[in-house]
Structure 1
Amino acid sequence: MKSLSQFKDILDPIDRTSEILFGLLMSMTILGTLSIANAGQQDVRMVLLSVLGCNLAWGLVDGVMYLVRTLTTRTHNIHLVKSVQQVDKYKGQQLLKEALSEELAPLVGDEEVESMRQRLLTTSVSELRTLRVDDYMAAFLIFLLVSLTTIPLALPFVFITDLPLAMQIYRLIALGMLFGCGLAFARYAGHTHPLRVGIAMSILGSILTLVIIALGG
């Protein structure tokens, strides 16, 4: 049984924060269309159900697409291993160089590439798996992150009958969550001013929400 810390390590910090941000923006987009002047309790309930349904649906889609991306990448890597094993030394090195990212390629010399090639020659392709248990757990975690983002934003509407007050508290919670996402990005990147990034993310997220609403999203 995996511990909570091991479960969190399935997705890197950028992936976790991005999924939370994705669910947050979707929730804000729907809740942002709620009219304080005209909305009744039934309208609020319908909007909350819409937010929950939307995030559940997109959480499911996002989790499944994570598996599709992972499967495609792993299949490509297995094909690369087979190709390297079937060609001569120089062609194998060329294949590995082409597989390196633009950022990594200039940092890897011929000796490192040859070392990788030698390791791949002894790699058993039959032992390489396209999807593992951790991948399914990661997909489930993505589903949870997108879906459960709705809950903090919905709480004010559940416990507060005064709609204008609930809207104000919801906006504060949304800004706080956007700020937290920006803070997480900044800390991961080693930014010297994480608070500024948090504030910038709060502003950017609010603008994106308004643009999405204006475009009919």
Structure 2
Amino acid sequence: MLAENSLEERPRKRVLDTVDRVSEMCFGLFMALTFVGTVSAATSGEDAGRKMLYTALGCNLAWGLADAVMYLVRTIADRSRRHALALAIHRERDAAAGVRALRERVSAALDPFISDADLEAIRKRVAADESLPERARFMRDDFLAALGIFIIIVLSTFPVAAPFVIFRHVPTALLISRILTLAMLFVCGFALGRYAGWSGGKAGLSMMALGVLLTMAIIALGG
């Protein structure tokens, strides 16, 4: 009963952690910036801003879908690898071989702190588990995370491209677009810095600088 209660009280894990959310937001911003980065004051036409938004949105819709699908592919591949290890240990009758298999998966940073006795305790629990499925499967949260990735990338289009629809004066729209983008990059960097235990302000400024450099590089390479 105590174990069941502790499981029920455990907070639900987010389907996307801070690193995932920040990475996808920055990716969407960089993709949208490749379209507005080449805009100049000479750009004209009544529908220029609307075309800019539709083009950037179409790009991020496509990349959001691709990134979401690849997230699912990466997730099932990683889970299948871990599941194969669990099955191998479950079926392995040689305890020493099971411990060696676990040792191979321990990261180099943690290896000095994990003894063979620790691994043997894990091996015994895995070997005694009769509920292991035959193969790894997707979970509901996997699809929720993929949907979250798609939404984040698509939404990141609007702060970059929407000013060109709101303001007909292209230089003004370009200025506002860049200010909004830099502000979002700062927020992303700040959140990532707090998550990693760094200085939030320094991380935000670093992300802004990195975003500018990456956008310049993407445009220079024909992105």
Normalised to the residue count of structure 2, the TM-score between the two structures is 0.89
Aligned residues: 211
- Counterpart residue identity of residue 218, structure 2: I
Do structure 1's residue 63 and structure 2's residue 62 form an aligned pair?
Answer: no
Instruction: Show CA shifts across 1:116-152 (max 9, x none).
Output: 1111112222287421011011111111011111112
Do structure 1's residue 29 and structure 2's residue 34 form an aligned pair?
Answer: yes
Provide the residue aligned with 1:84 in structure 2. 89
Provide the residue aligned with 1:14 in structure 2. 19
Match of 2:51 among 33, 46, 56: 46
Instruction: Tell me, in whole angstroms, the C-alpha distance in 1 between the residues paired with 2:107 and 2:74.
Output: 17
- Counterpart residue identity of residue 92, structure 1: G
Do structure 1's residue 164 and structure 2's residue 190 form an aligned pair?
Answer: no
Do structure 1's residue 212 and structure 2's residue 218 form an aligned pair?
Answer: yes
Instruction: Show CA shifts across 1:154-183 (max 9, x none).
Output: 231222122111111111001001111110
CA drift of 1:185 comes to: 1.0
Provide the residue aligned with 1:180 in structure 2. 187
Instruction: Tell me, in whole angstroms, the C-alpha distance in 2 between the residues paired with 1:211 and 1:170.
Output: 19
CA drift of 1:194 comes to: 1.6
Provide the residue aligned with 2:8 in structure 1. none
- Aligned ranges for residues 196-207 of structure 1 at < 5 Å? 196-207=202-213
- Counterpart residue identity of residue 202, structure 1: M
Aligned residue for 1:125, secondary structure, equals: coil
CA drift of 1:108 comes to: 1.6
Instruction: Show CA shifts across 1:17-65 (max 9, x none).
Output: 1110110111111111222213323333222111101100010011111
Aligned residue for 2:137, secondary structure, equals: coil
Instruction: Tell me, in whole angstroms, the C-alpha distance in 2 between the residues paired with 1:158 and 1:46.
Output: 9
- Counterpart residue identity of residue 91, structure 2: Q
Show structure 2 runs of 5+ residues with no match: 1-10
Instruction: Show CA shifts across 1:68-125 (max 9, x none).
Output: 0111111111111111122211100010111122233233221221121111112222
Identity percentage of aligned residues: 43
Which deviates further from its counterpart, 33-42 or 48-57?
A: 33-42
Show structure 1 runs of 5+ residues with no match: none
- Aligned ranges for residues 116-155 of structure 1 at < 5 Å? 116-123=122-129, 124-126=131-133, 129-155=136-162
Provide the residue aligned with 2:118 in structure 1. 112
8 A Cα contact 2:91 2:127, kept in partner: no
Instruction: Tell me, in whole angstroms, the C-alpha distance in 2 between the residues paired with 1:21 and 1:104.
Output: 31
Instruction: Tell me, in whole angstroms, the C-alpha distance in 1 between the residues paired with 2:168 and 2:109.
Output: 53
The Cα RMSD (Å) is 1.8
